[in-house]
A and B are shown apart, each in its own frame.
Chain A
Amino acid sequence: MGVDRRKAAVFGGALALRLLLLVLFPSLPDLLTGRVEASTPVTSFKRLQEGLFLYTRNVSPYDGGVFHQAPLLLPIFSLLPSSPGFPFPTVVLYSLIDLINANALITIAESGWAVSGRSYSAIRKHIRWDGVTIAAWFLFNPFTIATCLGRSTAVFTSTGILYALASAVTGKTFNSMLALGFASYLSIYPALLYIPLMLLCYDQRAQTAKTCPSTTVFALQHLAIFVLSIAGLLGVSALLIGDFKAFVSATYGFQLLVPDLTPNVGLWWYFFIEIFDSFREFFLGVFWLHLASYMGGLSIRLRRQPLFVLSSLLGIFAVFKPYPSISDASLYFALLPLYRHLFPLMRYTFFAVSALLYATLLGPAFYHLWIYAGSGNANFFYAITLVWSLGLSILLADTIFAALRDEWEYDNPEVRGKDVKQV
């Protein structure tokens, strides 16, 4: 009961804080919606409203080339009262989604899969936070709050991913694949999580079930579920929109080919502005390959910690995705406290956090100098996005180092507590 009360307090506090911010600063949601850090062309709430406007007037929402999000969002949002007139219901909906995400996080944390797996158990597993603390880290993270008030549709993808993880660690592998299918349907990139998620599901099954299922069969079975769930969602969407080809090219084509180079916190936009058009396809391929290549490497190297692979991949996506925003970073930061036991092994936390803080402050300042004051230029903002990515990469590299070190100490008990140099 005590834990429940804490959970209620955290959830209530988070909800109250969001509503309070809305009441105190009524212009805040619109301000955040317009910020390039919080909303990208594929998650922007403004564009969603444009799509909604067309949709409710029986025009294809993809006409005009503004809206690039999954069609199933439209019927959901058309149920809500219009946001400019009544901002409250929308914010309440987004806050509730945050709470749902936090709930999934609690499930993940309490399953203990972050500290021990089927064939591995962290050495410092006594150093950990409970689920409510982790949920509090997520709910009171300024990035999460900014995403929530900015009403970026990326939170739905986050929900899909977090529920996929939560179902996987509790053994509901079917639900897990469905949730991942939902997330992939909304924004393609979560499909890259299929392999580590499948491994997690498999580990979970193998640990609880008496007999180990065959790996191939298991993988194919789940792949089928995953593909079918996506296919089902696409089918419903096709029914909804009518023109299947148009909506696929406007949503997935847009995400894959990156035609909109609006500035964001990632690395793609500047590069593709600068590049000669004749090399565009080539580098598009290279960038996507680069993003996808982490999946294989991490899954193999950290086979024994699939959940850690999933979290690290989310961090990598936050850096290298075509349209990243702070919501991706907030998802990564949400999973990071699960690895409290790795913190003593990390070496550059302070520097990474400082770099992220600097980027958080300087980013808006330089964007202001560039766009509003006119006294700076694009390089100012891009330099800061580089710092941001650097901070995230340091954090990522540091956690992966810590995880490897932990694994290594688990394998070699005699080296515990010795100084080791990386060469």
Chain B
Amino acid sequence: MATPAALPPLPFNPSRVRSYVLRLPLFTRLVLLAIIVFWLLELQTVWSVKQWGSLIPEEINIGTMYRLNTYPFIHFGFFHAFLNLLALTPLLERFEAEHGTLTAVALFFGPLSTFPAGAYIVIERFVLHRNTEVFGASVWVFLLLGSEAIRTFKSNPYFSLGPYKIPTWTSPLFACGLVSIFVQNASLLGHLCAIFVGYLFGLGYLKVFVPPEKVLRWIEGKLNLLGRLPHYVSVDQKTFGRYGVLPTTTAGSERATPMSYLGSSQRLAAIRKLRSNPHFLFVHLPHILSFICIVAGVVWLLLLPLNDYSRQTYISENALLPGQVHAYFSGSEQHIFRGYKKELEAILGRQTPSGQDNRNEEFTPAVSDKIQSILRAAGLKVATQKYEYTSSGITHQGQNVYAIIQAPRGDATEAIVLVAAWKTADDELNLNGVSLALTLAGYFKRWSLWSKDIIFVFPPDSKSGTQAWIDAYHDMQPAFVQPLPLKSGALQGGLVIEYPFDHRFESLHILYDGVNGQLPNLDLFNTAVSIAGGQMGIGSNLQEMWDHNDSYEMRLQTILRGMVKQGFGYATGAHSSFMPYHIDAITLQPKGDGWQDEMALGRTIEGLCRSLNNLLEHLHQSFFFYLLMQTNRFVSIGTYLPSAMLIAGNFTIMAIALWLRTGYYTGLEQTAVKPPVTAEETNKQAATLTEKSGANTAQQPAVKTDSSSIIERQLALPLTLVVSLHLLGLVPLYIFNNINHQYYPTATYASIAINAILPTVLAASLTRGLTTTPRDQSQQSLLIKSFSLLVLGLFLSTLATLNFSLSFMIGLLCTPLSFVNRIDPRTASRPVRSVLAVVGLVLLNVLSPPVVLLGACWYSGVDVETVLTQAAFGWDVWGMWTQVVVWCVWWPAWVTGCALLEFSLF
């Protein structure tokens, strides 16, 4: 075990960087300045610097020879310039320090920029017959790397990689290859030319171009350059012989470059330094890594809307053939539609004056009978189903009417469902939708081409009716839902029709989110978009993005809206209930005021049914996990999953690091512990056969019988605490799903209060109840955090595969828990600790589950009671498990974090 006695400074030392920058020699400074100036010049649009100065093979003639010298200064944008600056500075600085400023000027304005440029032009123009322009200082970077590599080769000919010996001069080629792979638009040829010239220079073939020393001295003396110019490197000041080999360490020189070249020895040294700095390795590094993971996860998500990371949608299942058939639904069907609508309106009009207060007041037996008689008249088999759900003291009941068209060309093994609920997802009367479905039922019945049964379902509302129906269809219904008297084959797809207004519409809004974040196959969505857009000329929207101009912001907003819906996991419409049974379904909602009428919607549905009718097997070709950002662009799971995994991974990294820390590293203050205390402690520990640490055993070697220097960990308490907190989460889960809806706000406020008290009680009882040494306490608090984060990471990464958005959101809300710690009493005095802990606690309490719920409700202007009632309804009826994640994953982790902070108060 390393002793933490002498702590070397961090590898990245700001003061060293500052002194390094201040010592940069003259020519290097000028070059850097020129690059920055040219970059700034590019920001204006009047005069294109690139056009003026870059190396364009065909533009080179006598008058434009200046391009041979200007192209290294010109860059493509900030990142290009910045990265090249970073790479060039140490190399150029070293070159200048070795050769002197004058030589550097002579070489870099002469052969070292013209030769690669010349070679490039010759090859590009006369061999490859192309005309790719190049610019950027990377040419110098690779040139200098080439010459350095030759020198390394002379002193240190091979890397040994196992049995293989790789000559060191090839290293710039590898670098060049890597750059071409990772950086778009990197000119491989340009870089190779530069490396080639660098090799020539390194081998000394370009010696002739170096001005003779005598001349240089003369110029220097005459002009008194040394006196006049700051940071000038004189001919005689050169650090090392002109073409000699650099010693690997510059003895006593302050100028040792902190940037490593390609040689690996310095990297290894950095790692070795890390190992001798356990505080950094065990305390700082995990925090840095965790933080990087979180930032990378968020940035990853923000990158998704870009064209490079998203894809154009496409129909993957060939059998669908969307829009390939002519839709005949028109003409006389419109009269039938109007007739049905009038009949229904008449019945509805008769009963509205009675003004019942029932939720499903439209769906009286009279209406139900009417629908049944219409369907029967059309020649369909009709059946009804009654259901009744009770959730948070509210009863939802109703009667589903449904009818089946038996396939003329099928054997009742497969079916398509069309749903028209009396109430839309937004609780509007869906009169047009129902009439349209009735019309379609009669119309479809007359066709002989169906190879799948078509089922028409008319539930009274969009929330519970379809759920009752689909549960009963699969014989999974609860006791208070009637079984279905009439059934058909396996459902292949579902379409929900909504048309809650009387005027014409402009575009179709497609709802696709299912319960618990499950999504229908992307092919179904694509088919709907392509039939609506391609065949009918109806535009489509998604996620309530009415004016989507395909900009980055709009795309991101669409993705985020989709993620929020997916994360909450509630049913967005009647189609959502189908998803848990692996039946792909979508809702079509007409929106806006345009010139499309109900016949256009009917034709779209006809087209969709014809496509589904073509299916030979269940939709499986396309994606089930995707984020849509536009009707025709999406990101697939492989691209977006890493962002949630990175967030979840941050907890795992921290957990592993804490585990290692409890075993290998006890903290900075170890050396400060007084010897008698240590001895006493060690004796005690020897008796109880527990811990051994490096410093202690060094003083008492006799005690050390254990071969490993691993400190024994006391696992019982942390394990019990974490497991029981997770089990305790079942209590609020039960309460929030089972009490009457009017008590929800009270319960929320009560849970906020309990959240404030519970960690304090935990912390107090744990500190009082345990009569262990301070070190054991600190170990145990670290272990508690480790286990809690391990479990959190475990659950979140599992969840990411099931419901990406929920995992991402909860992961983000939990990120502070990675960094919350018990503040060690040995590092901070009591008042400081108290203040820090209280501030931290206040911040953490803002991020507690109930407070976040209240905040979200306040932000979106929804009532807490409504949200919680809906959630309980989801739990009881839809089988939604968002609450389980909140109360059994998020809340225990949060309580643990708070309890750890509270520990510092005691």
Contact = CB atoms under 8 A, between A and B. Distances in A.
Interface of A: 123-124, 126-127, 344-345, 350-351, 354, 357-358, 361-362, 365-366, 368-369, 372-375, 405, 409, 415-420
Most buried by B among A127, A351, A373, A419: A373
Contact of B708 (A123, A345, A365): A345
The 4 closest A-B pairs by CB, nearest first: A375-B624, A361-B798, A374-B582, A417-B707
5 contacts: A345-B708, A354-B655, A354-B656, A362-B801, A369-B802
Nearest to A405: B707
B704 interface: yes
A374 B712 contact: no
B324 to A, nearest CB: 26
A126 B707 contact: no
B466 interface: no
Contacts of B618: 374
B862 interface: no
A362 B798 contact: yes
B705 A416 contact: yes
A409 B802 contact: no
A344 B712 contact: yes
A409 B705 CA distance: 11
Contacts of A366: 801
A354 B798 contact: no
A344 B518 contact: no
Contacts of A368: 802
A210 B656 CA distance: 52
Contacts of B689: 126-127
A115 to B, nearest CB: 14
A337 to B, nearest CB: 13
Contacts, number: 60
Contacts of B255: none
Contacts of B710: 344
Contacts of B659: 350
Contacts of A354: 652, 655-656, 790, 794
A141 B707 CA distance: 30
Contact of B624 (A126, A374, A418, A419): A374
A369 B705 contact: no
Contacts of A351: 656
Contacts of A374: 582, 618, 620, 624
Give the interface SS of chain A, mostly helix, strand, loop or mixed: helix
Given A126-B689, A358-B797, A417-B706, 10 more contacts: A124-B706, A354-B794, A357-B794, A358-B798, A369-B801, A373-B624, A375-B518, A416-B705, A418-B707, A420-B707
A151 B795 CA distance: 27
B625 interface: yes
Contacts of B656: 350-351, 354
A361 B704 contact: no
A127 B691 CA distance: 12
B707 A365 contact: no
Nearest to A377: B620
A417 B582 CA distance: 59
A407 B790 CA distance: 34
A127 to B, nearest CB: 6
A43 B206 CA distance: 80
A330 B35 CA distance: 67
B75 to A, nearest CB: 44
Contacts of B790: 354, 357
B852 to A, nearest CB: 24
Nearest to A358: B794
Nearest to B786: A350
A405 B706 CA distance: 12
Residue among A126, A354, A415 with the highest chain B CB neighbour number at 10 A: A354
A372 B582 contact: yes
A416 B708 CA distance: 9
Contacts of A358: 794, 797-798
Contacts of A373: 518, 582, 624
A361 B624 contact: no
Nearest to B516: A373
Contacts of B801: 362, 365-366, 369
B754 to A, nearest CB: 24
A405 B795 CA distance: 36
Interface string B653-675: 00110010000000000000000
A126 B802 CA distance: 47
Q: Which of B656, B705, B707, B801 is most buried by chain A, counting CB atoms within 10 A of its CB?
A: B707
B701 to A, nearest CB: 9
B699 to A, nearest CB: 15
A351 to B, nearest CB: 8
A365 B704 contact: no
Contacts of B582: 372-374
A375 B797 CA distance: 17
B794 A344 contact: no
B802 A365 contact: yes
Contacts of B625: 375
A417 B802 CA distance: 47
Contacts of B620: 374
A375 B518 CA distance: 9
B221 to A, nearest CB: 62
A337 B887 CA distance: 33
Nearest to A351: B656
Nearest to B623: A375
Interface in B661-718: 689, 704-708, 710, 712
Instruction: Pick the most buried of B656, B710, B801: most chain A CB atoms within 10 A of its CB.
Output: B801
Nearest to B712: A344
